[in-house]
Amino acid sequence: MTSSSGAARKNLSKIACNRLQKELVEWQVNPPTGFKHKVTDNLQRWVVEVTGAPGTLYANETYQLQVDFPENYPMEAPQVIFLHPAPLHPHIYSNGHICLDVSVCPRMSLDHNSKYGRSVILWL
């Protein structure tokens, strides 16, 4: 599912719903450094703000990411795209899609994946 698709989202499995609720609470209590979850009424689609790290080209810049969780999360990884405006980078298309073959282990927690994701973003 992409941000521009009009397709109806599929219902989350009970496992996915429980896992996301748990991870959302963890994010609210102890957010990963450099990330902020923007509250919405949709557990299946998160909007996350990420701030560029000091000493990088993206220092003090804030970007929004849309994270779409599949119905069988955590067995399948979420889709992550930059919302407009996406940072200018050869690995990021103008529509926010990331062109990078990086495997994230979906069975790991979102906190672990977000730390990994931030390191990938910093690498970009």
- Residue 100 to residue 90: CA distance in whole angstroms: 10
- Residue 32 to residue 26: CA distance in whole angstroms: 9
Q: Is 5 helix (H, G, I), strand (E, B) or coil?
A: coil
Decide if 99 is catalytic. yes
Of 5, 88, 99, 101, which is the active-site residue? Answer: 99
Q: Is 124 helix (H, G, I), strand (E, B) or coil?
A: coil
Rg, Å, the chain Cα set: 14
Long-range contacts of 100-103 (CB under 8 A, 24+ apart): 100/124, 103/77
Short-list 59, 77, 53, CA closest to 67: 77
> Which residues are tagged catalytic?
99
